[in-house]
A and B are shown apart, each in its own frame.
Chain A
Amino acid sequence: MAGSRLEKFGTVFSRIRDLVRSGVIKPSERPVWYDVYEAFPPKREPLYVKPHFRLSSRKQESVPEIFYREDDVRAKFYELYGTGPRPLDLSKANFVSTCQRFVEKFSELKSSSDLDDSALFEETGKILLSEGVILRRRGAPPVAPESRDQVLDLKLTDMLAEQQMVDSTQTR
């Protein structure tokens, strides 16, 4: 069967259609898919698009960034508390992470009360604590300072200096 191998000119369908029209391909010899394409053409004609490399940077961003209002709350949460006590389990479709619970509680409080954002933040933290979720602040030492052993506070260099001074006075 005759064909046209110019993939950069026109579409697959347009080339076959023109060959049929001109009589090169007999109507009985049409490909199997020809009638189907005619009945159900695609949304965009599969024309070849030449790749041209723009030297200048693109002026307009045609793909918008996706941001939500809750992202502010999420950002503050992650900055303050890190990932949260429970790891994210993405295998479940309906999984709610600690951050998401926080955000939901925050939006509930925001709609009901009239406080400042930072105050609301503290409030939400307290409510979650009461529900049993322990939020540990990021950057805080894991052990409290009072339980440090007092031996560690001894400075051995000072003690050595004192000993040397005592020795020198004794020998004199």
Chain B
Amino acid sequence: MQRRRRRRPTRRRSLLTFRGIRQASMAAPTLTKGLLGLRQLRAFAVGYSCSGHQYATAASVQTPPPQTADVTDKVMTLPLEKPDFFRVSELFSLKDLFDARVHLGHKKGCRHRLMEPYLYGCRLDQDIIDLDQTVEHLQQALNFTAHVAYRGGIILFVSRRRQFVHLVESTAKDCGEYAHTRYWQGGLLTNAPIQYGPGVRLPDLIVFLSTLNNVFQQHIGIRDAAKMNIPTVGVVDSNCNPCLVTYPVPGNDDTPVAMELYCRLFRMTITRAKDKRKHMELLHGLSAPSTPSS
């Protein structure tokens, strides 16, 4: 068999593409400031382009928004005060999980020792995952994802199941986030500045839709994310190791129905979070008497 030459990563959406911002953690406040600045510029432009000669009416000249730091604080800290700000628990129910066959695990022989607390029981040698626990874990995971998306974090979807490559990539594309469903190169996260150039921004959250790779071992991305201090959300089946996953979701990762359910839930959460962010900025950003849309 011919040895395939490793391609240099292209700037496709499916591979990890990076924004060149150096200060990753400063992105959120700069984002707000940038957007506020843009809004001001647009207001000025409207005033000037109406007629040929320059004029400045009092209405078009907007005062700079007062207390920018307070506004940013409010936008950032308000969601953290409520337990379910984005109402992710309304997106799914236990019956939906059951119908999507999320409770079906692998056979008794494949069971991982650390998954035993998440199992309801074993029916004729097939492990049944406890859906009560899954509901709680999934709600926490979706809530965390929503908050990270709200703050403008980069989310990376990872899955090494070839059956669902297209599904995962299209989910990521629909949310406006990133996906990596191909071979994971060794230094992708740990050697990123050298492989992708200096000043690369790493993802702020990695969502594993299947924590195993093609040879049924734990995906290298889980260990690498823990090394690079990146939190992970992962769907762990009964043969997976959940110890390093920050927000594990015990559930079936083999059935197409279940995978479609997870992808749909993540897509809806992220879209909801981003819309809410725009909402909140409109509410708190503009001090003008325009009616806030709520």
Contacts and interface: CB of A to CB of B under 8 A. Distances in A.
A63 B28 CA distance: 45
Interface residues of A, number: 35
A65 B26 contact: no
The 10 closest A-B pairs by CB, nearest first: A7-B226, A66-B121, A36-B147, A32-B153, A39-B80, A66-B123, A49-B243, A5-B227, A32-B204, A46-B246
Given A5-B190, A63-B122, A65-B122, A32 B128 contact: no
Interface stretch (B12-20, B137-145, B207-215, B259-267): B137-145
Report the interface size class on chain B. Answer: 35 or more
Given A46-B246, A63-B122, A65-B122, A31 B80 contact: no
A147 interface: no
Interface stretch (B57-65, B111-119, B167-175, B282-290): B111-119
Interface of B: 23-28, 76-77, 80, 99, 111, 114, 116, 119-123, 127-128, 136-137, 140, 143-144, 147-148, 151-153, 190, 204-205, 223, 226-231, 243-248
Given A5-B190, A35-B80, A46-B243, A29 B119 contact: no
A6 B127 CA distance: 33
A5 B205 contact: no
Interface in A5-41: 5-7, 11-13, 15-16, 28-33, 35-37, 39-40
A63 B27 contact: no
A12 B229 contact: yes
Contacts of A93: 99
Contacts of B120: 66
A132 interface: no
A31 B25 contact: yes
A4 interface: yes
Nearest to A25: B25
A65 B119 CA distance: 11
A142 interface: no
B10 to A, nearest CB: 27
The residue in A11, A37, A43, A46 that gathers the most chain B C-beta atoms within 10 A of its C-beta is A46
Q: Which of B24, B123, B190, B246: most chain A Cβ within 10 A?
A: B246
B27 A32 contact: yes
Contact of B24 (A6, A31, A37, A39): A31
A71 to B, nearest CB: 9
B204 A31 contact: yes
A139 interface: no
A33 B231 contact: yes
B244 A7 contact: yes
